[in-house]
């Protein structure tokens, strides 16, 4: 192309593009103007506030869902309820997609997504769990993303979705009143998940004696029956609880009923290992599959200096110079791709259905993480499982929604800014029309990465 | 003398032997009085031979696990199929269809096939689309004849595909049928242009090159016949776009009463996957698209019937490439607010038949035309005699499937 000169961008313009892409769901045309004045402040301001997006208001919380399920099963209508529950979950998933797309605080949305994935509950192996999984994010994650880790951890562990998913509701402590007279046994699934994934990050949960001790302390953390004072919600059941003192992480915990596990969880949030594990996970979610020590320690700093405050931890990441390297190291997950593509084309669906459909097509159905470890975010998972062609087919189908002429280069720069490579710009300049322009833009490496 | 209209469908028609006897259809004996003008009929064609046994796993069949082998899905409690009844389950990737079943808006015809008994797509498609027993050079499709029988232009139809499918082709096709290319036709040379963009990105460049290579291998592994099967149809991953286009036409004032949507991507000779994989992703697209269709058609849903038809089922057991080859009958899905669903309609022949040769593919218990007849007679209000003589000539022996509508 003759006469094409790649424009020069200011430092702030580069940071604005990175802020929106790496920490949010990409830019809408013309949106960069609002960010460029102070990209870091644009991000930190999004942490404030506790509101639930309008699309997700007035939906039943976890205990209500669970109570309804128990009521239905009690009168032999469990199957009917399960069918309705699945449908309810589909509706909520679509609403959730719409809320994400329309959110004025995409960074906060992605933090919500990060923590939800950190504390994965999945309906993949139990479809009836889907509405509880949907409620889990609203009840136990959203209100806590800008608060102490301790509070989120407690809300997560006491949520019915988690108690069921990790089978703690059925766990009966060693030498507990019920354990002595029944054949029900201690279940260590939740204890292991806490030590391996939620807090310390020790492979397999670390020492077996610690796993068993924590499981015993958690025994009795269950879900209230219909006759209890909190039907469907968290209930401490002393009859399930293991008596005796416990030795855990080189400390002695005297017998203290429900307070044992509370103390143990609190202790875990203050372990340096926990800070490092969370920081590494956060760095891997937002910035790179292979985080440098410098990046991790910047994030740990935010966590440790604030006594385990998740908002400060996020700010620690934003303040790290390593977070702003120009290289786009992460491949977008299906979710990142779908929402950012809708933003880039400025598409405004009336319902969340097309978004939900896209996530299903591209292999990331909401509430159905493939394993207890949650959705992988590594490039190896998203690229190379026959997925590129599917992505390309999807973006070219989506591009068909562009029904008006767009000037290829100025449009591309308005949504990509300095991220647009010269190579892509030259290809766009010779595209055959608006649809091809849009498709190539969404297919480009700089759009598939963030 | 009747003028023979050219058939615009698919190049393969021109390859059929010229000068063959042409079946002439009587168009004189029409009875329009009872035609139900509010009823909507949507035919979703799964070109390439969809593995209905993967979509509706017959878990209650004693030989299910033995015969399906590595394609068998885990049990419901292990996160596998969703149980529909004692015999059939639903692939979990298509879980969006479950509410239809519960609301009695989805029925399964357990083993439906057309009259073709060979394994060539081309021939099977000719049978499916023409609705004839021996279609050598068909001049029209059964749905075109049905539309003419219902009064022609009074019953407008749309086809969501790049070309008019044979099933709608025939006399007066231009007046009746509006071909709406789904806003999805592929961009020519798109992958190649993207490959240019990926030159400086080793990860994406390598992955794209590999996948394009695999696709090419798959295509060169396909016979000419396999490739012809997909012509004109769009990948099922684009179903939601096609559905929206169809629904727009069907909802319009004095809009279409009949729509045909063609999907491809079902000819899974290799690595079809079971719980996950390419076929699971396609089921997810199919289910999502059908759910979207119901939602877009919600005001008329109780007057709507949707039939998902394929030219043949696939072999019962996996081949050496963990795919399935061309088979015979297949579980077939009928949806809609107008049907009596939540059940199977027709007999389940079982995966194993008496002779080992037959057990390779599912044996039919119903002729696919029995399903179409049921829709035309009970739903669209076409006279039974017209259906037997004109729409499906010489088919009196095939009775409309009872219990469906």
- What are the pLDDT digits (tens) for A389-432? 889 988 988 998 888 888 888 899 999 999 999 999 999 988 88
Helix (H) or strand (E) holding A281: helix A272-286
Higher pLDDT, B216 or B401: B401
In this prediction, residue B357 carries a pLDDT of 60
Rounded Cα distance, B22 and A126, in Å: 56
Residues B43-89: pLDDT tens digits?
999 999 999 999 999 999 999 999 999 999 998 888 789 999 999 99
Q: Kindly state whether A353 is in contact with chain B, defined as any CB-CB distance less than 8 angstroms.
A: yes
Residues of chain A with pLDDT under 70: 1-3, 50, 385-386
In the predicted model, is pLDDT for residue B227 greater than 80? no
Domain map of chain B by residue range? 28-188+222-307+322-337+360-391
* Residues of chain A contacting B197 with CB distance shorter than 8 Å: 423-424, 427, 440, 443-445
Higher pLDDT, A125 or B122: B122
Residues B263-314: pLDDT tens digits?
988 999 988 989 888 899 899 999 989 998 998 898 899 999 999 999 999 9
% chain A with pLDDT above 90? 78
Architecture (CATH level 2) of domain B28-188+222-307+322-337+360-391 = 3-Layer(aba) Sandwich (3.40)
- Report ipTM (2 d.p.): 0.92
In this prediction, residue B28 carries a pLDDT of 35
* Min distance B285 CA to chain A CA atoms (Å): 6
Reported confidence tier of residue B326, pLDDT bands at 50, 70, 90: very high
In the predicted model, is pLDDT for residue B369 greater than 90? yes
Q: Are B288 and A83 in contact (CB < 8 Å)? A: no
Please, are residues A128 and A160 in contact by the beta-carbon 8 Å criterion? Answer: no
Paired residues of B330 in beta bridges: B112
Rounded Cα distance, B370 and B387, in Å: 11
- Mean pLDDT of all residues in chain B? 84
Rounded Cα distance, B124 and B119, in Å: 7
| Residue of A165, A168, A119 whose CA lies nearest to A142 | A119
Reported confidence tier of residue B34, pLDDT bands at 50, 70, 90: low
- Nearest by CB to residue B197, choosing from A125, A401, A444, is A444
Instruction: Provide the token pair at A48.
Output: 């404030």
In this prediction, residue A87 carries a pLDDT of 79
In this prediction, residue B262 carries a pLDDT of 92
Reported confidence tier of residue B127, pLDDT bands at 50, 70, 90: very high
In the predicted model, is pLDDT for residue B355 greater than 60? no
Residues B169-190: pLDDT tens digits?
988 777 777 777 665 456 778 9
Please, are residues B53 and B330 in contact by the beta-carbon 8 Å criterion? Answer: yes
% chain B with pLDDT above 70? 87
* Min distance A22 CA to chain B CA atoms (Å): 18
pTM for the whole thing? 0.77
Reported confidence tier of residue B356, pLDDT bands at 50, 70, 90: low
In this prediction, residue B185 carries a pLDDT of 53
Please name the residues in contact with A333: beta carbons below 8 A apart, sequence gap of 6 or more.
A364, A375, A377, A382
- Nearest by CB to residue B200, choosing from A353, A365, A423, is A423
In the predicted model, is pLDDT for residue B11 greater than 50? no
Q: Are A384 and B288 in contact (CB < 8 Å)? A: no
Q: Are B207 and A421 in contact (CB < 8 Å)? A: no
| Residue of B363, B361, B268 whose CA lies nearest to B317 | B361
């Amino acid at each position: 192309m003759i006469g094409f000169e790649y424009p020069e961008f200011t430092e702030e313009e580069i940071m604005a593009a990175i802020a929106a892409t790496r920490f949010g769901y990409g830019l809408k045309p013309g949106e960069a103007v609002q960010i460029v004045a102070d990209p870091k402040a644009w991000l930190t301001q999004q942490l404030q506030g506790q509101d639930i997006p309008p699309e997700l208001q007035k939906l039943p919380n976890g205990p209500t869902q669970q109570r309804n399920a128990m009521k239905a099963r009690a009168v032999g209508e469990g199957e009917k309820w399960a069918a309705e529950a699945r449908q309810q979950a589909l509706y909520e998933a679509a609403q959730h997609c719409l809320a994400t797309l329309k959110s004025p605080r995409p960074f906060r949305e992605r933090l919500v997504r990060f923590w939800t994935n950190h504390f994965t509950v999945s309906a993949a192996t139990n479809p009836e769990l889907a509405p509880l999984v949907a409620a889990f994010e609203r009840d136990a994650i959203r209100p806590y993303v800008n608060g102490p880790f301790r509070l989120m951890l407690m809300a997560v562990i006491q949520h019915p979705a988690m108690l069921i998913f990790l089978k703690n509701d059925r766990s009966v402590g060693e030498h507990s009143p019920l354990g002595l007279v029944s054949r029900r046994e201690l279940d260590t699934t939740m204890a292991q998940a806490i030590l391996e994934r939620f807090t310390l990050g020790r492979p397999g949960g670390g020492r077996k004696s610690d796993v068993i001790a924590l499981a015993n302390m958690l025994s009795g953390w269950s879900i209230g029956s219909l006759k209890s004072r909190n039907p469907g919600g968290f209930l401490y059941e002393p009859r399930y609880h293991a008596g005796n003192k416990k030795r855990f992480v080189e400390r002695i915990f005297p017998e203290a009923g429900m307070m044992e596990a509370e103390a143990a969880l609190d202790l875990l949030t203050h372990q340096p290992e926990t800070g490092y594990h969370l920081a590494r996970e956060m760095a891997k979610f937002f910035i790179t599959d292979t985080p440098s020590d410098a990046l991790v320690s910047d994030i740990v700093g935010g966590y440790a200096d604030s006594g385990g405050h998740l908002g400060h931890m996020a700010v620690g990441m934003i303040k790290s110079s390593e977070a702003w390297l120009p290289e786009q190291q992460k491949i977008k997950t299906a979710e990142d791709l779908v929402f950012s593509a809708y933003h880039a084309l400025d598409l405004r669906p009336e319902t969340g259905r097309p978004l939900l459909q896209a996530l299903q097509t591209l292999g990331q159905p909401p509430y159905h993480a493939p394993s207890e470890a949650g959705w992988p975010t590594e490039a190896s998972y998203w690229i190379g499982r026959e997925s590129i062609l599917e992505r390309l087919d999807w973006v070219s189908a989506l591009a068909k929604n562009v029904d008006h002429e767009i000037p290829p280069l100025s449009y591309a720069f308005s949504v990509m800014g300095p991220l647009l490579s010269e190579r892509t710009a030259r290809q766009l300049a010779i595209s055959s029309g608006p649809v091809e322009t849009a498709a190539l833009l969404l297919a480009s490496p700089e759009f598939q990465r963030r | 003398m009747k003028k023979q209209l050219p058939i615009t469908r698919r190049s393969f028609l021109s390859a059929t032997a010229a000068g063959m006897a042409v079946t002439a259809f009587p168009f004189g004996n029409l009875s329009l009085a009872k035609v139900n003008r509010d009823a909507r009929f949507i035919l979703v064609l799964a070109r390439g031979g969809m593995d209905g046994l993967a979509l509706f796993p017959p878990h209650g069949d004693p030989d299910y696990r033995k015969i399906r082998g590595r394609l068998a899905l885990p049990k419901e409690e292990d996160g596998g199929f969703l149980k529909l009844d004692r015999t059939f389950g639903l692939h979990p990737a298509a879980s969006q269809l479950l509410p239809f079943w519960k609301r009695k808006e989805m029925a399964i015809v357990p083993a439906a096939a057309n009259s073709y008994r060979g394994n060539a797509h081309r021939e099977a498609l000719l049978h499916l689309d023409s609705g004839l027993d021996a279609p050598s050079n068909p001049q029209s499709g059964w749905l075109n004849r049905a539309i003419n029988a219902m009064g022609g232009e009074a019953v407008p139809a749309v086809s969501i595909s790049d070309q008019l499918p044979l099933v709608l082709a025939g006399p007066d096709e231009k007046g009746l049928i509006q071909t709406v290319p789904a806003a999805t036709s592929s961009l020519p040379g798109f992958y190649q242009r993207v490959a240019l963009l990926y030159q400086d990105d080793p990860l994406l460049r390598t992955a794209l090159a590999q996948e394009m290579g695999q696709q090419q291998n798959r295509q060169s592994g396909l016979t000419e016949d396999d490739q012809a099967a997909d012509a004109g149809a769009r990948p099922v991953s684009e179903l939601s776009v096609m559905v929206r286009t169809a629904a727009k036409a069907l909802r319009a004032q004095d809009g279409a009463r009949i729509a045909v949507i063609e999907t491809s991507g079902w000819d899974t000779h290799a690595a079809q996957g079971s719980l996950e994989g390419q076929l699971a992703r396609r089921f997810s697209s199919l289910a999502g698209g059908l759910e979207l269709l119901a939602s877009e058609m919600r005001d008329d849903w109780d007057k709507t019937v949707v039939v998902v038809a394929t030219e043949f089922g696939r072999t019962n057991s996996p081949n050496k490439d963990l795919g399935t080859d061309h088979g015979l009958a297949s579980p077939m899905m009928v949806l809609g607010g107008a049907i009596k669903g939540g059940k199977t309609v027709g007999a389940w022949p079982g995966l194993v038949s008496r002779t080992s040769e037959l057990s390779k593919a599912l044996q039919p218990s119903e002729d696919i035309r029995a399903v179409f007849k049921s829709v035309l007679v009970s739903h669209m209000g076409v006279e039974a005699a017209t259906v037997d003589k004109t729409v499906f000539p010489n088919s009196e022996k095939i009775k409309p499937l009872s219990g469906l509508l």
